[in-house]
């Protein structure tokens, strides 16, 4: 009886060891997408009043966990029974990401009305600010859903030769680690200025090293946020382009001579531009018909 119990413990230890190894492999393989996820999430979670940054980030984080609760079982079921459906799902998500990235570029360079609205955001009423916040959170959760699908599929592909129980445990754990890691880092970024202010206050008026570090953090935050806005937009185009380049062999074969990052950006930009044009044309047509 005792020997059977210890044998069971030994089996559990072996399984846990296998899960730890496969989780590390899965997380490493999805590392590139996690970097893009970090940039996109930080860009989506910025631009709010200081008092609303953490509540907004927490709302997006909760949405991310719900996304993964939906995605993980579906990914395992699709991988087991309908593996051919995974690529079309990724491609649809890639189109949406490319559209989001292209739309940001369009607004920045061509949509003056959008720029004026962005400059006037401080004049919004409390109700308008909350409505804007909800819309941005919703957009962030949708983008997170697509990035989460990509992360889960890539992580799953790294352990596809393992037993189903190992796949489920390792990919699920990798997804949890990814979510905590990304949103933890984003929380540190958006609260960087508050930490800097605390350092300045702790110096008690002295111009010492601690005060200089605090001042650096406070002054650096606006530049970090602006940089993340650009990086987040590029990341959406690169991830979208990567989905097409790595999953549609005709595109991969046509662009194999070009450096991968350039090929992914080119494809993401083209797909995003086409999607944006279609959305604009359809939107204009619907408005004319409504009138």
User: In this structure, is residue 261 part of a structural domain?
Assistant: yes
pTM of the model: 0.70
The pLDDT of residue 8 is 36
Q: Is residue 215 part of a domain?
A: no
118's tokens = 């962005």
pLDDT of residue 267: 93
Residue 209 lies in a domain: no
- The region, left, alpha or beta by phi > 0 then psi within -120 to 50, assigned to residue 205 is left
274 alpha-carbon distance from chain centroid: 22
Within a domain: residue 128?
yes
Is position 126 within any domain?
A: yes
Q: Tell me if 206 is assigned to some domain.
A: no
Total domains in the fold of the chain: 1
Tens-digit pLDDT profile for the chain (291 aa)? 444 433 433 333 444 444 555 565 555 555 556 666 676 777 766 666 667 778 888 888 899 899 989 988 988 888 788 888 878 888 888 888 888 889 888 888 876 555 555 555 556 666 777 787 888 888 888 888 888 887 887 777 777 777 777 778 888 888 888 888 888 888 888 778 788 888 888 877 777 888 888 888 888 877 877 787 787 788 888 888 888 988 888 888 888 888 888 999 999 999 999 999 999 888 888 878 766
Q: Which residue, chain included where needed, has tokens 């579906």? A: 74
Query: What is the domain extent for residue 172?
Result: 2-193+222-290
Residue 157, C-beta contacts closer than 8 angstroms, at least 6 positions apart:
29
Residue 200 lies in a domain: no
Q: Is residue 122 part of a domain?
A: yes
Rounded Cα distance between 135 and 186, Å, is 19
pLDDT attached to residue 266: 94
What pLDDT sits at residue 13?
40
Give CA 158 to chain center in angstroms: 20
**3-class DSSP state for residue 191?**
coil
């Amino acid at each position: 009886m005792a020997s059977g119990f210890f044998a069971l413990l030994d089996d559990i230890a072996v399984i846990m060891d296998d899960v730890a190894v496969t989780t590390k492999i899965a997380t490493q393989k999805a590392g590139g997408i996690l970097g893009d996820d970090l940039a996109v999430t930080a860009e989506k979670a910025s631009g709010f009043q200081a008092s609303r940054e953490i509540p907004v980030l927490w709302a997006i984080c909760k949405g991310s966990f719900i996304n993964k609760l939906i995605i993980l079982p579906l990914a395992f079921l699709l991988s087991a029974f309908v593996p051919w459906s995974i690529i079309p799902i990724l491609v649809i998500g890639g189109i949406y990401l490319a559209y989001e990235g292209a739309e940001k570029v369009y607004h920045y360079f061509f949509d003056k009305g959008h720029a004026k609205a962005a400059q006037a955001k401080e004049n919004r009423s409390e109700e308008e600010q909350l409505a804007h916040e909800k819309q941005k959170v919703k957009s962030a959760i949708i983008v997170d859903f697509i990035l989460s699908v990509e992360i889960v599929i890539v992580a799953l592909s790294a352990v596809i030769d393992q037993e189903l129980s190992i796949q489920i445990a390792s990919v699920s754990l990798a997804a949890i680690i990814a979510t905590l890691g990304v949103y933890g880092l984003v929380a540190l970024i958006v609260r960087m200025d508050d930490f800097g202010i605390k350092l300045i206050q702790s110096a008690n008026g002295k111009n010492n090293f601690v005060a200089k570090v605090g001042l650096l953090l406070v002054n650096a935050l606006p530049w970090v946020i602006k940089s993340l806005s650009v990086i987040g937009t590029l990341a959406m185009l690169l991830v979208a382009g990567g989905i097409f380049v790595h999953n549609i062999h005709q595109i991969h074969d046509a662009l194999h001579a070009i450096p991968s990052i350039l090929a992914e950006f080119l494809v993401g930009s083209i797909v995003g531009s086409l999607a944006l044009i279609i959305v604009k044309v359809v939107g204009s047509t619907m408005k004319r018909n409504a009138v």
